[in-house]
């Protein structure tokens, strides 16, 4: 069979990571990420003997006409999309277009929009045949091996009925999946923001033991962390270097630094590999899972940046979102990163239902004091399926229409702040942290040392200025 995996034409969103859906054009210092989910599924389909194509239309700068031409040329039997809430109507339109070209085509979608109300979605969208519910890798692997009826974790149509198959247990091992099919990805389109060099994402672990009320990670991947073996991760990195000339990596893991022994084992494996010294990488972390020894290993193995979900600048708020961390832990984490010579990327949120301007200003002020190297301020999005979404529904608090609401664009206000106020506060936050004289001085110093970084800092600086002024 012919399988066609794609992100539809339109806005440039971060799609593959279901817990974060945002338009890249609105972000301060982030570039497009490769379609790792499509590449994983394509590798599984190929392994099962099917022909496969991958297209990321927004990243490749391609249009709806290109999409139609591809459908006519490739003649897919199965069309697989990673859908997101913010562009859901357009996403489904892509299936409708394909159905007009080939009424017999099978359309399949994965993504966060399917955590709740699948029957309603299927009823409203007759152009959608199959939904993957939950973590896609084990479900899709079973789908290509067994077909629809015996595949756990999917929802599909049988005649006029909508059938919900039993869920897929989260007992798989990440090492059992094939490496993502990067040979079919336009790898040069996905770059490290500061150097412009190709960068790819490596799925290092999945699942999160914490309970942050706004987060989809544990809804999708469960509370138990599933880690890949260091040998498997490094083998994939070596393949990226030797076959695709990619030397920059983003380790995708809900909590990369949670287990010190695993971090040390992975760093040791990287240091033993022939690619050691030729590669750089970044990872996500929580502020309470860093220490000097872990960071020393990470730095030695090529880590140059750690992204931290600080979220709020007041402890009462951190308790309300059940983050399980404190402002003082965030301060300690930043200071450990500085001592280790690793850059920091601080992530903050604003616009929780109880927040007034006073609380948001506390977060902005705290962010400024932390002196991160890079910042992002996300407008709070109550994703269906999260604890906070359920709480809002229980308490009669309106949830915004996801079609127009994402982390960088408020489609609706909160009980205390209008959408316009949220947008203005986000801009104020970005102006406060990025236009500080000390911050600008530090960046200028770096630019003076590295001309290539200077070009990219200027490019991102211009984009940031357009967004915040």
Residues contributing to the site for ligand SF4 (CB under 6 A): 208, 210, 212, 215, 217-218, 254-255, 286, 309
Closest to ligand SF4 by CB, 279 vs 370, is 370
* Cβ 286 to ligand SF4 shortest distance, Å: 5
184/212 with CB nearer ligand SF4? 212
**Cα(98)–Cα(107) distance, rounded to whole angstroms?**
9
User: Least distance (Å) from ligand SF4 to the CB of residue 363?
Assistant: 16
CB closer to ligand SF4 out of 83 and 212: 212
Least Å from the CB of residue 287 to ligand SF4: 10
Nearer to ligand SF4, 29 or 217 (CB): 217
Q: Pick between residue 122 and residue 205 the one whose CB is nearest to ligand SF4.
A: 205
- Given the complex with ligand SF4, which of 210 and 374 has the nearer CB atom? 210
Q: What tokens appear for 411 in the block?
A: 């489609």
83 versus 208: smaller Cβ distance to ligand SF4: 208
Q: Which is nearer to ligand SF4, 302 or 309 (CB)?
A: 309
Smallest separation (angstroms) from ligand SF4 to the CB of 309: 5
Query: Smallest distance from the beta carbon of 122 to ligand SF4, in angstroms?
Result: 28
> What are residue 340's phi and psi, to 5 degrees?
-80, -10
| 3-state DSSP of the chain | CEEEEEECCCCCEECCCCCCCEEHHHCCCCCCCCCHHHHHHHHHHHHCCCEEEEEECCCCCCCHHHHHHHHHHHCCCEEEEECCHHHHHHHHHHHHHHHHHCCCCEEEEECHHHCCCHHHHHHHCCCCCEEECCCHHHHHHHHHHHCCCCCCCEEEEECCEEEECCCCCCCCCHHHCCCCCHHHCCHHHCECCCCCCEEEEEECEECCCCCCCCCCHHHHHCCCCEECCHHHHHHHHHHHHHHHCCCEEEEECCCCCCCHHHHHHHHHHHHHCCCCCCCEEEEEECCCCCCHHHHHHHHHCCEEEEEEEEECCCHHHHHHCCCCCCHHHHHHHHHHHHHHCCEEEEEEEECCCCCCHHHHHHHHHHHHHHCCCEEEEEECCCCCCCHHHHHHHHCCCCCCCHHHCECCECCCCCCCCCHHHHHHHHHHHHHHHHCCHHHHHHHHHHHHHCHHHHHHHHHHHHHHHHHHC
Report in angstroms how near the CB of residue 311 gets to ligand SF4 at its nearest.
8
Closest CB 459 distance from ligand SF4, rounded Å? 29
CB-wise, 141 or 219, nearer to ligand SF4?
219
């Amino acid at each position: 069979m012919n399988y066609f995996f794609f992100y539809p034409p339109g806005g440039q969103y971060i799609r593959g990571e279901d817990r974060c859906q945002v338009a890249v054009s609105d972000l301060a210092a982030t570039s497009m990420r490769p379609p790792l989910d499509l590449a994983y599924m394509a590798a599984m389909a190929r392994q099962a003997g099917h022909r496969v194509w991958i297209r990321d239309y927004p990243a490749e700068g391609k249009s709806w006409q290109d999409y139609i031409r591809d459908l006519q040329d490739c003649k897919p039997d199965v069309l697989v999309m990673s859908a997101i809430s913010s562009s859901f109507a357009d996403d489904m339109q892509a299936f409708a277009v394909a159905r007009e070209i080939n009424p017999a085509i099978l359309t399949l979608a994965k993504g966060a929009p399917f955590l709740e109300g699948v029957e309603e979605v299927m009823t409203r969208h007759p152009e959608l045949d199959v939904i993957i519910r939950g973590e896609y890798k084990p479900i899709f692997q079973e789908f290509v091996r067994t077909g629809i009826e015996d595949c756990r974790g999917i929802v599909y149509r049988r005649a006029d009925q909508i059938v919900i198959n039993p869920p897929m247990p989260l007992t798989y091992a990440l090492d059992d999946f094939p490496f993502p099919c990067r040979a079919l990805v336009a790898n040069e389109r996905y770059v490290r923001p500061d150097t412009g060099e190709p960068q790819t994402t490596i799925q290092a672990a999945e699942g999160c033991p914490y309970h942050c009320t706004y987060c989809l990670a544990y809804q999708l991947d469960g509370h138990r962390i599933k880690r890949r073996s260091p040998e498997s991760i490094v083998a994939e990195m070596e393949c990226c270097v030797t076959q695709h000339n990619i030397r920059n990596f983003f380790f995708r893991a809900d909590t990369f630094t949670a287990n010190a022994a695993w971090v040390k084992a992975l760093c040791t494996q990287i240091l033993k590999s022939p690619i050691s010294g030729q590669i750089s990488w970044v990872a996500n972390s929580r502020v309470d899972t860093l220490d000097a020894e872990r960071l020393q290993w990470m730095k030695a193995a090529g880590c140059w940046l750690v992204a931290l979900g600080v979220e709020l600048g007041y402890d009462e708020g951190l308790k309300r979102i059940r983050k399980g961390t404190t402002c003082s832990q965030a301060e300690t984490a930043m200071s450990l990163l500085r001592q280790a010579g690793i850059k920091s990327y601080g992530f903050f949120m604003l616009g929780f239902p109880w927040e007034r301007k006073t609380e948001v200003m506390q977060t902005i002020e705290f962010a400024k004091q932390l002196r991160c190297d890079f910042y992002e301020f996300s407008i709070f999005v109550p994703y269906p399926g999260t604890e906070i979404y359920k709480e809002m529904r229980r308490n009669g608090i309106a949830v915004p229409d996801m079609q127009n609401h994402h982390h960088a664009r408020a489609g609706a206000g909160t009980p205390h702040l209008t959408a316009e106020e949220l947008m203005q506060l986000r801009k104020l936050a970005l102006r406060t942290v990025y236009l500080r004289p000390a911050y600008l001085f530090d960046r200028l110093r770096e630019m003076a040392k590295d001309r290539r970084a200077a070009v990219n800092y200027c490019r991102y600086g211009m984009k940031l200025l357009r967004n915040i002024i």
